[in-house]
Chains A and B, each alone.
Chain A
Amino acid sequence: MESNKLKVKNIKFTKTTRYRQLPYHLMMLPGMIFLIIFHIVPMGGLIMAFQNYIPIKGLIHSDFVGLKNFQRLFRLPTFWSVLRNTIIISVGKLVLVTIVAITFAILLNECRNVKFKRLVQTTVYLPHFLSWVILAVMFSNIFSYSGIINQLGGLFGKEPVMFMISNSWFRRILIGGEVWKEFGYSAIVYVAAMTGIDPTLYEAAGIDGANRLKKILYITLPSIVPTIVLMTTLNMGKILSGGFDQVFNLYSPLVYRTGDIIDTYVYRMGLVDLQYSNGTAVGLFKSLISFILLIAAYKIADKTVGYRVF
């Protein structure tokens, strides 16, 4: 330890290393300018959340109202229903995507035919790369009154449903849609974790008379538990997100009651109804909670599975 420190000091003070710092700063410069203008400066705009912001008065001359915007917000029944929707939708997505992705990864791992495996993998990754704008058109095709889903239901004697405008169905479609789009892509990490499992474990279990199911339950699953813990914790920061692109492209005023999430609420309040201060207040509330959750998640990930981003 002691000798290491000495070494570090010596390197620090050699002329060449100091001289080499300059190119590094130059490399960082253009990117930092963009970050400062488009990411750091807007953080200053968060002051609006504590003001009664009036565009002609500007950010500096508008009156400060303290936490009044937040107090008003927390009294709004819509705010609480929006928060509730967001959490239900996010948690539903998080849990179901994980379960389906793990199941898929395990069965893919059991498949011995390499070509077939490749083919399936290529198809299940595809939806991840399509935008919700495009998928929304596809969804409204298949879920429409006379669409393929209702026709399928008709075969089993079910009455056709107006899925996209039904408050009882909308959340399920959001969650199901996310599972459909992302399960393949999420499975990549689990598949990668499974390739790292020592094959002798399976051989030994086979000699002990374990069948396929038992090998999955007692070798494959426990081996990927750290990865599951990691992915779940890292997703905690998204709990107040709910997937803006998806909801925004699929919802309509008819399903605001069950489908409106914080991000869509901010958009309508801030940029459509032009209530800048209120919109910013909701946005700040979300950013702050998400930030805390994310930091906590990184800490937990670091403690439990030794994960560090940098």
Chain B
Amino acid sequence: MKRKKIKISDVLIYAFLLFCGLICLIPIINTVAISFSDRTSAAMGAVKLWPVNFTLMSYKNMMKETQFWTSFLVSVKRVIIGVFLNMVLSVLMAYPLSKSPIKFRSKKIYMWTVVFTMLFSGGLVPTFMVINHLRLMDTFWALVLPGAVPVFNIIILMNFFKALPESLEESAYVDGAGPWTVLLKIYLPLSKASLATISLFAIVNHWNAYFDGKIYINSLNRLPLQTYIQSLAASINTNMMASMTAEEIQEQLAVSSLTFNSAKVIVSMIPILLIYPFLQRYFVSGMVVGAVKE
């Protein structure tokens, strides 16, 4: 009876989904194409989705630029130390917070403090002044310490811990284990998926951060990569444009290192592109746990 027919609705659905996928990729492809094109073609806007007059010039120039690589290494260091700190603190805080108030009587006070800091903040200026007073200004630690406690990640992990069967813990206690043993030997091995999710969030967060680098760091050898790229982009846009006419702006954009910047942007994306496919199967569950779990 049933014969496979191609339905119009199916065609429309596939077309729409394909369109969604493509639209997300086009700006990236366009930038890749520009980075491999020669300057004049890029400035004239001849480049669309494929390089025009293919050249590796901008990548070669980038190899020679020490500031880019210095900043790249600062960001790598930041991710390693920052994520380590985030993960240790998340695990340590999520475990006691996942207990019921019966087992951990002060839980509610801690929970309220943690959530309150997530919902309300001193704002930009007071935070800046605290960092200044602590003499963290222009140090690497200004980048990792203020965000050491990732509250949202803690809530995801806490919800995951809560869902683990209580009998696991009870039986471990009967066998003479304490909370530390339970956390390290039972909870952690069971929560690999959740840990992967929140570490992805932490990695992306540290890699993408630029603003703290902008306001706290002055020395070029401590500048994180995104802050460095931001300063390049901003130097053409904001500062000059105000006093220029439309023609001048256009000219400025044409002579600016469009291809060079595009190459830097592409290289700075590579770490994200590398970890993303491995961890993405986890973050879907993490995201859902964080958002819709009770």
**Least Cβ distance of B161 to chain A in Å?**
12
Across the A-B interface, how many residue pairs have beta carbons closer than 8 Å?
291
A28 interface neighbour in B92, B134, B147, B215, Cβ under 8 Å:
B92
B123 within 8 A of A: yes
**Interface: B125 (CB within 8 A):** yes
Q: Which residues of A contact B261 (CB under 8 A)?
A: 137
**Docked-complex contact B113 and A253, CB < 8 angstroms:** no
Query: Are A127 and B146 in touch, CB under 8 angstroms?
Result: no
**Inter-subunit contact A165/B249 (CB<8 Å):** yes
CB–CB A43/B124 < 8 A? no
Q: Which of B20, B106, B208 touches A133 (beta carbons < 8 Å)?
A: B208
Within 8 A of A (CB), among B86-100: 88-89, 92-93, 95-97, 99
- Contacting pair A148 B48 (CB below 8 A): yes
Q: Which residues of B contact A212 (CB under 8 A)?
A: 9
Q: When chains A and B are docked, how far (Å) is the Cα of A307 from the Cα of B208?
A: 31
Contact of A23 among B26, B180, B233, B258 (CB under 8 A): B180
Question: Which residues of chain A are near B163, meaning CB under 8 Å?
Answer: none
In this complex, what residue of A is CB-closest to B208? A131
Contact stretch, chosen from B58-66, B76-84, B268-276: B268-276
Question: Which residue of the partner chain, among B16, B103, B117, B262, contacts A35 with CB atoms under 8 Å?
Answer: B117
Chain A CB within 8 A of B104 CB: yes
**Given A12-B102, A46-B126, is A237 in contact with B119 using a C-beta cutoff of 8 Å?**
yes
B140 touches A (CB below 8 Å)? no
Is A76 in contact with chain B by the CB < 8 A criterion? no
Q: Closest CB of chain A to B58's CB: distance in Å?
A: 13
Contact with B along A284-310 (1 / 0, CB 8 A): 101100110011000000000011111
A35 touching B114 in the complex, CB below 8 Å, given contacts A42-B123, A189-B287, A252-B242: yes
B149–A123 CB distance below 8 A: no
> Once the chains bind, are A30 and B103 in contact (CB under 8 Å)?
no
Note all chain A residues with C-beta closer than 8 A to B241: 165, 252-254
How far is B172's CA from A20's CA once the two chains are assembled, in angstroms?
A: 13
Stretch in A63-71, A83-91, A264-272 with 4+ CB within 8 Å of B: A264-272
Give CA–CA (A45, B123) in the complex, Å.
9
Bound complex: CA of A42 vs CA of B45, how far in Å? 48
Cβ–Cβ contact A34 & B233, under 8 A: no
A111 to chain B, nearest CB (A): 6
Interfacial residues of chain B within 171-196, with CB under 8 A of chain A in the complex: 173, 178-180, 183
Is A205 positioned at the interface, with any CB of B under 8 Å from its CB? Answer: no
Instruction: Identify which of A20, A164, A185, A192 contacts B179 (C-beta below 8 A).
Output: A20
A25 to B96, CA, bound (A): 8
Pick the residue among A122, A138, A244, A295 that contacts B280 (CB under 8 A).
Answer: A122
Can you list, as one digit per residue, whether each of A85-128 has a CB less than 8 Å from chain B (1) or not (0)?
A: 00000000000000000001001101101001101101111110
Q: Interface of B with A (CB < 8 Å)?
A: 9, 13-14, 16-18, 20-21, 23-28, 30-31, 34, 43-45, 48, 88-89, 92-93, 95-97, 99, 102-107, 110-111, 113-115, 117, 119-130, 134, 145-149, 154-155, 158, 173, 178-180, 183, 204, 207-211, 215, 226-227, 229-230, 233-234, 237-238, 241-242, 246, 249-250, 253, 258, 261-262, 265, 268-269, 272, 276-277, 280, 284, 287-288, 291-292, 294
Known: A126-B28, A138-B28. 6 other contacts (CB 8 A): A17-B103, A40-B117, A42-B123, A131-B210, A133-B233, A148-B26
12 contacts between A and B (CB under 8 A): A31-B114, A34-B145, A39-B117, A129-B272, A135-B27, A139-B27, A146-B45, A162-B246, A188-B288, A271-B124, A276-B129, A280-B125
Please give me the 8 A-B residue pairs with the lowest Cβ-Cβ distance, nearest first. A45-B126, A146-B45, A42-B122, A283-B123, A131-B208, A24-B96, A39-B117, A270-B125
